Structure 1
Amino acid sequence: MSDRVIIRQCIIPIIEEHLKDNLEPNTIKMYQQIIDHGVSEERAIELLAFYFEIYVKENFFSDEFDSKKWKKFLDKLTPIYHIPGEYVFDIQEERANLRAIARNYGKIKTDTEKWEDELYVVESHLLVYNELYAIDSYEAKKIINIVINRLFDLKNGYTSDYTDYAHEDILSLADGLEQICNPYANTQLYDYLSKFVDLEDQANFSDIFKSVFIVLAKVLDSIIFHEKKSGKYGYFDFISQFIDVDKCIDEGPVFFFNDHTLEK
């Protein structure tokens, strides 16, 4: 059992206790809000558990739960609701997506230096997830595959169901990775990229996302390699030699794209 699973299983009962007999009105209000957007009761509790985990991290030195601080935390959230789509996503879809990337966009082989800035952004983002949320290589791969599939869904006009593939915490972490590489999910990134490409023209999809696809696929290959070599934390042990995770946490997320990404 991974650390991520243990954390999830420890926090879910806290949320269930909040909901029991209307014990914590702020939790109940957010729970109802999530339910009203079409999320199942079980998944709503999972999502709230992840929010509570973040709240605890932000209030690490507090001796006890503070309902007012919890309300303030929830009020500033902009929830992303993971509504099940029409197509079930599974390992077969993972493989199909990776084959499509290799076929349509190629692979990064010996020219890693060309993509070092973009690789750094993705790998540092994942290392922060490892540090803050205790993800292992298995969960990192899921996060990447979810983002890849969301981009293909964007291209094809599909929606996917991740219910049997990933829990709400993993989907939420995938949201964070997607925010730095999908301009259609991040208005600030959209405004930035609009200086370089017409984002309204669907014909530009490959020009926009080719770099994202091949970099994510390269990171997946690296995770798999180090996982086989050194276990479920081998990849993070490796990249932590070159990336200062504390600095990354202090500076916050960085856009995948820079002024030269689309030229590559």
Structure 2
Amino acid sequence: MAAARSTVDRRAERPGGTGDERGAALTEGEQRLQGHPAVTECVVVEGEQLVAYIVAGETERITEFLTQLVPQRRLPEVVAVVPALPRTPEGEIDVAALPLPVAEGARPAGGKGGGATAGSGPMVVGGTLLFGFLAFATTNVFWPYSTDLSGVPLPWAALFFGLYLFECASFGLGVMVLLRGRSVLARRGRSAPLTTAAWLALAWLLLAWWPQDNFYRLAAKNDWPQQAALVYGFNVTLMIAAAVLVGFVSGRRR
């Protein structure tokens, strides 16, 4: 039976607990699961939830087994049964390749329901639409007449209007990335500082288009101080954000 190597490297921030407590939760969950005769492999990881991934012949009593042996504060919220644990060419468990525990085989430990991840998709879509609508509704409050298309002939007016809608949708998605995106990026196994930088960079790449385009449309073409401020405030920071994401994607796992 094999658990993941280097549990400490996979710790992530968990509300309501210190680093030692989170590490103990991860380690104890794996150790207890290894003691079950039906479990051949297991790994416990931290994302939006504490999730135990197990390879097991039968699973009916594993949740009950964990509940009896692990304190409630250290109990994985979800036990996900997988056919095998993905591994890197070096033989390490590939945490980034683990599936989200929302499909068949994922079950909550010590309770009913599918856990918080089950509603993540609809929540992100709903939040994107909500914040996108708020951006669209308040554009003329922050930038009066920036989206005035009364003097633009068709089909160009329709094309520009569609662009405004996409900008607002991008802003809405950026808000949701800012609210929920870090735990998803943490599954890639990069260092905590790089993960945080990539999370903020991705959010900024999505958030910036709505204010940027409105500021540019209202800027006088010969107002060089304002033009310089816009270029450095938006264009340069977007380039930096893109470079951060390249570093995140190409960087080594911890």
Shorter-chain TM range is: under 0.3
- Decide which structure has greater helix share: 1
TM-score by length of 1: 0.23
* Structure of higher RCO (CA pairs closer than 8 Å, 6+ residues apart): 1
